[in-house]
Chain A
Amino acid sequence: MRLDVRFPIGGMFSILGALLTLYGITSDQAIYARSLGINVNLWWGLVLLAFGLVMLGLAVKGVKRTGSDSTP
């Protein structure tokens, strides 16, 4: 029994992405003056979330294919 590395990677980036997205929506927009007026937390949070979910998806697919949570 061995951990598939895509689970922790997917998990961590999904959590970080969700956190940054939420923070991007709720934070005071004035702090984005330094990032040229772009709400970088929101946009980059969405990128991280998408990456995290893709990794989790691949990991789940890997488990289904091999029937265990071992790395392919």
Chain B
Amino acid sequence: MQHIQLGTIDYAILIIYFVFVLGIGWALRRVIRSSEDFFLSGRSIPAWIAGLAFISANLGAQEVIGMAASGAKYGIMTSHFYWVGAMPAMVFVGLFMMPFYYGSRARSVPEYLKLRFDEKTRGLNAITFAIMTIFSSGISMYALAKLLELVIGWSFHASIVLSAVIVLVYIFLGGLTSAIYNEVLQFFLIVFGFLPLVLVGLKDVGGWSGLTARLATVATNAGFQPGAWTHSWRYMDAPSHNPMGMEWFGLVMGLGFALSFGYWCTDFLVVQRAMAAGSMTAARRTPLIAAVPKMLMPLLVILPGMLAIGLHASRGGFLPIGSDGQPNYNLAIPMMLAHYMPTGLLGLGLTALMASFMSGMAGNVTAFNTVWTYDIYQSYISPGRSDQHYLRVGHAATVFGIVASVLAAYGATRFNNILDMLQLVFSFVNGPLFATFLLGMFWRRTTGHGAFFGLLTGTITAALHYGLTISRGAVPGIKGGFLGAVLHVYPSEMALNFWTALFAWTGCFVATLVISLLTTRNKTDEELVGLVYSLTPRLKDDYMPWYKRPVTLAVFVLVVSTILNVIFW
């Protein structure tokens, strides 16, 4: 395919962005005096900044490229990841879990597990999490480099080195504060970079009604009802009626409950942003503030994919055809940029794309260096050293994390849709984790052994389920069925992943419950104050005017996302 030609002004925009990103790191270098400054921003970030960083850290490769690809592949049903998945989970973590995360003064999610349960549960979580962040960061980098190579013709190696060095420098200098500040900058850049694309694209197809007409062709060509791409719920009665191959129960339980709560409520990558907030109220409001722009993200990331496939169907050849004969869905956003944006805004759009990859990568690296330093190095390798020593280890871990991500980037090549692969990893490791937190935070009887063996059971359940089932038409192997016998065939890969997460959660929940009842408690009630719901004094919000209370914001978020679900029914 033909490469996009960039003009001088496009490069100028990219360079100005790099200067500001590095400048933020440089300006913050003096703020870092202790390890807590480096890893937790000295717990001083205002709620709105922490909130925007909270969603920006998640706005990485899987979001921008993956959601646009899913928008093209599945249509408006992709919005379930937001209005059914993220919203309830973000409200839950803000209202019910943040009081324990922040109130316990734990410095990381694994450290909370240590305080609540025991050392081995923390170790298990810290080690799997550290590996997963490196993996995710590598995928982010790989996706960026691959895309730039294909679209602009930049060297794969040069893109990897450039993005790795920039992220390394700004985190090394300014730690989490620098990552958070840059995430806020990146958030605005992503919004301003993609919005003109959506506006011009919508105008071109004749608004939502014009898009609906084009997507009706896409749907009927694929053998579905004309509205299959533009209704989020109407065709969810049976898997064969919609492109996602999902029915409503599997979607609500698998995605809405197991996967989303597992990610938003327990993933330290996002929770770290709230832990860095300046006060308990700010920490509780962080995920709720983040939920407001998150609700509107489908407009920026899913709609371009829908526009691209609509144009592909009506004008032909809009998306390049991949080696499997299918359109290359991952190119939806770059192709839209190339099609509609003149030099100038083209540079802004590409810079926004780079910003999204960098924020995803930086989120992973800052989460990695914290877990590595506090939960692995300080706990098992070299405890009892000075704070300055751990600060130096944090700097070294940042360098190591980036180098390991680069290696992971060269290793990541398998799936057509990056999203599916990330979902798979999350479903094995994160699916069970939420069951552990739910029981740990709300049932004081949960024991350390229960949590540890429950988590293992959950992960094993996930692997067994994945190994014994497969999605229709897939070859046994990495896409399921690797244990030889296939007990059930799911209509789509997405369905297989959602159900795997649900099995993981259930396996962990039941095992934790049973083992906890069979073992003796390893923590007394006194030790669990601030960690468990029934033993912690309720927070009083009476002193705040009603509109400032977290619960008001939570109700607002839930009402608006319900309305959005109804509009696109």
Contacts and interface: CB of A to CB of B under 8 A. Distances in A.
A12 B351 CA distance: 13
Contact of B188 (A2, A9, A34): A9
B181 A40 contact: no
B479 to A, nearest CB: 39
Contact of B24 (A8, A15, A19): A8
A55 B345 CA distance: 21
Contacts of A35: 200, 340-342, 345
A5 B31 contact: no
Contacts, number: 91
Of residues A3, A11, A47, which shows the largest number of chain B Cβ atoms within 10 Å of its Cβ?
A3
A8 B23 contact: yes
Nearest to A11: B20
A3 B13 contact: no
Given A15-B16, A19-B12, A40-B196, A5 B181 contact: yes
B30 interface: yes
B24 A3 contact: yes
B23 A20 contact: no
B28 A19 contact: no
A13 to B, nearest CB: 7
B215 interface: no
Interface residues of B, number: 34
A72 interface: yes
A72 B45 CA distance: 9
B200 A40 contact: yes
B540 to A, nearest CB: 24
A32 B188 CA distance: 24
Nearest to B53: A5
Interface string B170-201: 00000001000100110010001000100010
Contacts of A9: 184-185, 188
Contacts of A38: 200
B339 A34 contact: yes
A48 B192 contact: yes
Contact of A72 (B46, B204, B345): B46
Given A3-B28, A9-B185, A19 B342 contact: no
A24 B181 CA distance: 30
B13 A8 contact: no
Nearest to A42: B344
A2 B46 CA distance: 13
A16 B27 CA distance: 20
B140 to A, nearest CB: 22
Contact of A13 (B31, B192, B343): B192
Contact of B13 (A5, A11, A19, A34): A19
A25 to B, nearest CB: 11
Contacts of B177: 2
28 contacts: A1-B31, A2-B28, A2-B31, A3-B27, A3-B28, A8-B27, A8-B181, A9-B184, A9-B188, A12-B20, A16-B13, A16-B348, A19-B12, A20-B13, A20-B345, A20-B348, A27-B342, A27-B343, A31-B342, A36-B203, A40-B200, A40-B342, A40-B345, A41-B345, A44-B345, A51-B192, A71-B44, A72-B46
Interface of A: 1-3, 5, 8-9, 11-13, 15-16, 19-20, 23-24, 27, 31-32, 34-36, 38, 40-41, 44-45, 47-48, 51, 71-72
* 7 closest Cβ pairs, A-B complex: A41-B344, A31-B342, A12-B20, A5-B181, A3-B27, A44-B196, A23-B344
